[in-house]
Amino acid sequence: MGTSSRAAAGALLAVSLAFGDGALALGLSRAPAGAPNIVVVLLDDVGFGAAGSFGGPIPTPALDRLAREGLRYNRFHTTAICSPTRAALLTGRNPHAVGVGAVLNSASPQPGYEGVLRPSAATVAEILRQNGYATALFGKWHLTPDWESSPAGPFDRWPTRQGFDRFYGFLGGETDQYEPTLFEGTAPVARPARADYHLSEDLADQAIGWMREQHAIRPERPFFVYLAPGATHAPLQVPAPWIERFAGRFDAGWDALRGEILARQKGMGVVPPDTQLAPRPAALPAWEALSAEEQRVAARLMETWAGFLAHVDAQVGRVVDALDALGVRENTLFVYIAGDNGASGEGGLLGAMSYMGRIQGIDEGGALRAQRLGEIGGPTTYPHFPAGFAFALDTPFPWMKQVASHLGGTRNGMVVSWPVRIRERGGLRSQFAHVNDIAPTLLEAAGVRAPAAVNGVPQQPIDGTSLVYSFADAEAPGRHRTQYFEVNGNRAIYRDGWLASAFHGRPPWVLLLPEGQRAFSQDVWELYDLERDFSQSRDLAAERPEKLRELQALFEVEAARNGVLPLQESGQRGGLPSLHGARAHFRYGSGTGMPEPAAPALVSRSHAIRAEIELPAAGAQGALLALGGSSAGFALYLDAQGRPAYSYNLFQVERTTLVAAAPLAPGKALVELDFDYDGGGAGRGADLTLRANGEIVASGRLARSAPVFFTIDERLDVGHDSGSPAGPYPATYRFTGAIRQLALELR
């Protein structure tokens, strides 16, 4: 383009920006006049009775502040587990209807559970983007299939292909809060280098910086921010001062805490005055049944969780402050959802220092938990709290995360603020609402109609109902009249105040499928009148059998329509695409990396690692191959003295390290590790042999190994170690020599 052509184009752009009519022709779409900025915050694994704004024991000043100027919703529902909730939130559809009926890590070929977002269900981010909004996601995604999460793509189900101009966060269900596995767009990036780093603070920093930049460059253009921190999902990691705020606060235990929360909820008016506590599940022990040592560890884990929630709420408060500083908060629709499901009982009955180990049946034991009490919340543990405290944080409801049949799994507090439109300050809304209502709410608020087609693909109907009707009228009849729920066979159906529930029998602290799981036909259905029984505490199945039959029939209709049937157990799933298939030989160069779910399967099988390297005259150190992180994993590396070494971390319960007696000489070298697995099942032992230049330099024995996986979000890395360190070395630990080739062989 010549100088005169560029000048003419610049003049045309200036006219278009000034007058607007030519903007679409130049690709500068404009949002409807007066369209608000939108911020949606979705916390992770927070129960209805946790936040102070809903009667909980943890102060949440940011949530309180927004509630004082807006509305609290006390009958808002999620799906009971993370990926389906996020799919429903972003698309406005039921999760099974868009292919995400299960958490991404347990998808299956059945259409409702395949874990692949459908093009016929465009996200609200994509629709807003095409209607003039700047869009960004900061934090957790968990909607990319495992086989699409490597650098080879495809990237269709990554945030930047799902409507977000900017993505800064993590792909999986969780990540280390001090050394997270981060992406910028589709590229892995290191976290900012500072000693006091924490992911929740980083995400807030990134969101604030992006909003400021957008407003400075195009102040007339509204933005949509989706802020999805990792808190309060395990690992429970937060700076010690936040934990100390709650020292001794939970020493009376979870049973006493439930009564305390309910009393506060009644006093605040967020539950009716006649609300009763739902009974504690028989399999969940009373606080008094724990030993003094078990109580001490459990209380400290709960203090850590409380600090984690208080800390992340403070970061949300910084985002609110930034909106104030920009002068845009009056016309910002702020949706703050306190949890993508109920509080999590996946930490087991006593809690765990290594969450990932516990869910695979590797328990460190009470003595080790007590010895490591002072480490809880720091970078050396990957902890989770006991299921009893999760149950307390779901007060007044029965059950917790994963249990989609009961409100402890699906009822979450939500606050909506929009000062220019919501005139009632501090109001309470009790209309039935579901997470699939969020997308249509955002579209109506923005003045944007749901399109019939997006990017040439006809769109399936939106299942949710906009909540804008409730903004000005607390007494407006609810418009979301019917909603099914299903996770891992736990299922329910809501219709006009009635709820029929069927719990499938596996408690949420038992994550590996037990033997002899009962058939779905053996599940017992319960019936609740939620208009008169807010807490789902009085089963009316025997009194109203005809109503129960009516709702059971309705569930079958809704389940068939949405792709829920046939019902499945998560542990029975399989047959999904594999990135590697039957391939057994791999060759990598330095810098290669991919999330563990996309990496060759090295757990519970024999394998060999062969690293051809070259060392400078001064010697070298650093990771040659690392898989996993500080919670669990292994690494082949050269230590600080330049000696070949191999370390295997079994969920912080056992660590086996082999180290050669002497460093490698400068020049070319060959480092090899043979992992000879015993076989006979998952998690068995193995013989380890470390070689340097063909000579055995160390050997050892694992009595047991990781049964299924090391982590969800950490990576396999060649030539460095991203995320938290898998070996006993500093973070990153980049190899200072040259890797000519690293070979993996599966045997």
- Active-site annotation, residues: 82, 142
Residue 539: HSE in the Cβ half-sphere, 13 Å Cα cutoff:
13
Q: CB-based contacts of 463: which residues, under 8 Å, 6+ apart?
A: 92, 93, 94, 97, 436
Rounded Cα distance between 13 and 342, Å, is 50
Task: Give backbone dihedrals phi and psi of 319, rounded to 5 degrees, phi first.
Answer: -65, -40
DSSP 732: B
Q: Which amino acid is at 205?
A: D
By three-state DSSP, how is residue 498 classified?
A: strand
Rounded Cα distance between 710 and 363, Å, is 14
Whether the bond into 235 is cis, omega within 30 of 0 = yes
Q: What's the N-to-C CA distance of the chain in angstroms?
A: 58
Q: How far is CA 276 from CA 149, 164, 342, 678, in A?
A: 45, 43, 18, 54
Rounded Cα distance between 562 and 111, Å, is 10
By three-state DSSP, how is residue 607 classified?
A: strand
Residue 288 CB: number of other CB atoms within 10 A?
Answer: 8
Whether the bond into 285 is cis, omega within 30 of 0 = no
Q: Are 711 and 589 in contact (CB under 8 A)?
A: no
Rounded Cα distance between 236 and 230, Å, is 10
Residue 242 CB: number of other CB atoms within 10 A?
Answer: 20
Q: How far is CA 94 from CA 364, 440, 479, 499, in A?
A: 39, 13, 16, 17
Run of H or E including 443: helix 438-446
Q: How far is CA 121 from CA 43, 89, 436, 460, in A?
A: 23, 11, 12, 6
Rounded Cα distance between 322 and 183, Å, is 24
Residue 521, burial from CB neighbour count under 10 angstroms (0-12, 13-18, 19+): exposed
Distance of CA 27 to the CA centre of its chain: 34
Q: Are 173 and 341 in contact (CB under 8 A)?
A: no
Rounded Cα distance between 656 and 646, Å, is 8
Rounded Cα distance between 258 and 487, Å, is 25
Rounded Cα distance between 155 and 164, Å, is 13
Give me the residue label for tokens 């020493």: 251
3-state secondary structure 359-375: CCCCCCCHHHHHHCHHH
Q: What share of the chain is helix, strand, coil (3-state, %, to 5)?
A: 30, 25, 50
Residue 419, burial from CB neighbour count under 10 angstroms (0-12, 13-18, 19+): middle
* Structure tokens that stand for 446 in this block: 């923005």
